[in-house]
Amino acid sequence: MSVASVFPQLERLLPRISKPIQYVGGELGAVVKDWDSATVRWALSYPDAYEVGLPNQGVQILYEVLNEQPDVLAERTYAVWPDLEALMRAEGVPQFTVEAHRPVTAFDVFGISFATELGYTNMLTMLDLAGIPLDSRERDDRHPVVVAGGHAAFNPEPIADFIDAAVLGDGEEAVLEITAIVRQWKADGSPGGRDELLLRLARTESVYVPRFYDVDYLPDGRIQRVVPNRADVPFRVHKRTTMDLDAWPYPKRPLVPLAETVHERYAVEIFRGCTRGCRFCQAGMITRPVRERSITTVGQMVKEGLEFSGFHEVGLLSLSSADHSEIGDMCSGLAQQYEGTNVSLSLPSTRVDAFNVTLAQELARNGRRTGLTFAPEGGSERIRKVINKMVTEEDLIRTVVTAYSNGWRQVKLYFMCGLPTETDDDVLQIAKLAHDVIRAGREATGSRDIRCTVSIGGFVPKPHTPFQWARMEPPEVIDHRLRALKTAINADRNLGKAIGYRYHDGQPSLIEGLLSRGDRRVGAVIRRVWESGGRFDGWSEHFSYQRWVDAAAAVLPERGVDLDWYTTRERDQHEVLPWDHLDSGLDKDWLWQDWQDSLTGFEQDDCRWTPCFDCGVCPSQDTEIQIGPTGKKLLPLTPVGAGLRMPEAVHRHG
């Protein structure tokens, strides 16, 4: 039975709000299918505004993978701004998809991809607007199954009350497996209702269903154990790993936004996973092992993606793009392919010690230079050893001088504040480093027209990393160090005026720490914050630290814990962590040993190029690191020539 569009009701509201175009749909690449032709229907979401959510690579990939199935329909929905939320509540308009403006509650599965925990309050808004009960136990067969994914899903315990299931790891094959289970359950006549469907998902051992697990606590507030409450669900749930990226060359038909978004480029993921071993980096730990996409597949994806979309920038994405074993040939091949056109290449994430003159020249070959960001992370040599960021001051100076000498006039340097064992002096060393960068750049180029921007983020200990046991610094300590750093940068006015300074204060980081390492008791805090108006907590203009502090003070003491217990407290080796029953492939004993090694400044090598150091991933995934080189080249490909013609994109835009 077809589901009616809510657009007639929505359309009346659009003249009364800001940025109405983000709610109308109709983008190039969007897919609208007949409702009745589909057996399984997905609503996919990135719980943020359209301008942030649309470019999200994960959602775009799953959107294509699902819509390629003939009997599957996938549409997208995003968080609406508070101005539209108020009108939707007043006029009775439910949460809707942007393709066909169908109500989200009509779908079989509501999939939400979390890159950050600060999107949790937006999830509650979306559920509430959709008419889906916030508490998963209050839902019945009329409501979609709410499935969480993304990096934050590696500890879904703080939102365990609000979701029905979570998928750890890669989604390409997981969404097809979930689809097959839903399809079969419906074909069987939906036996056992919602509970039976969730049980079938849990039996895969790679879909976590929180309601089938009980948490017991010790008198001091720590977790005693997390155990299944049914005999037919696994004790541990394992992450999904898509091994052959060449078999999944998505997105093939990228979404081209109608409204302005944070990224407007064709992005191709050139490899997945990282073995550099930065101890703070959850993404690097949970996405192991390394899996490279071949140079020929990357070339074909870029060709087809640009022809379809009309984008003028190609982003070669990964956690450290310059670490691809064939990055030099890849960049030179693409640069030669599109020489003389308006297409530019960018490496959004580049390690200091992987950037070189050849790479700089290829990235700048057509005259357009996209931004360069390098991440030393720590200001002093000592703290960089603690975090296993094996970059020396000489590496950084040499790399930045290479960029300046090849025509770049601005680079961005990213650091963190609040790292384990950090002192005031470690942070003040950032000022010296920035001064040295400007000094060396001026000397190498003979020009004073160079700048660098120092950007500081607060450290947040993340699950499944060696720092998962670490304490956080209170916000007042972080803010003191940030103020001192600003003074130190500006102490030399001649150099300081060439240095931009951007920072995030310690308050949002502390709340992110609460959410990233929290357990099920934190769900009451999230709900309290949302009920008192919390929305878009990832946006500084909407975030209220006091609202989170007040909510934590109101609900946590009766549960025997408080905000500091979750954030500024160091855990011991044998404490049961809220995510211990969720298997990222990493051995917990190895993570603990790496945490102990960090305290002595011991540096762990990159296991891509050295013998295995037994982190546990490869045996648990029954695989090994996949690296090149393939020995193939992108060329000979037919050069595009003086102008890049994209007839399909031009035609579609009218």
The conformation of residue 160, written as its DSSP 8-state character, comes to: T
Strands 410-417 and 451-458, sheet pairing? parallel
222/228 Cα distance (integer angstroms): 18
- 290, 627 contact by CB (below 8 A): yes
Query: What is the pLDDT, as a whole number, of residue 364?
Result: 78
Beta-carbon contacts of 146 under 8 Å, excluding residues fewer than 6 positions away, are 110, 112, 127, 132, 136, 139, 162, 163, 164, 165
- 181, 197 contact by CB (below 8 A): yes
Tell me the whole-structure pTM to 2 decimals.
Answer: 0.94
Could you tell me if residue 550 is left (phi over 0), alpha (psi between -120 and 50 degrees) or otherwise beta?
Answer: alpha
What residues form DSSP beta bridges with 416? Answer: 457
Query: What is the pLDDT, as a whole number, of residue 146?
Result: 98
Write down how long the chain is: 654
Query: What is the pLDDT, as a whole number, of residue 357?
Result: 78
- With residue 639 as reference, give the H or E element that holds it: none
Query: What is the pLDDT, as a whole number, of residue 624?
Result: 65
66/72 Cα distance (integer angstroms): 6
Beta-carbon contacts of 548 under 8 Å, excluding residues fewer than 6 positions away, are 511, 514, 525, 529, 534
- 336, 370 contact by CB (below 8 A): no
The runs of H, that is alpha helices, within 43-81 are 50-53, 57-67
Cβ-count burial of 320 within 10 angstroms (0-12 exposed, 13-18 middle, 19+ buried)?
buried
- 51, 259 contact by CB (below 8 A): yes
Q: Which residues of the chain are modeled with pLDDT < 50?
A: 636, 639, 641-654
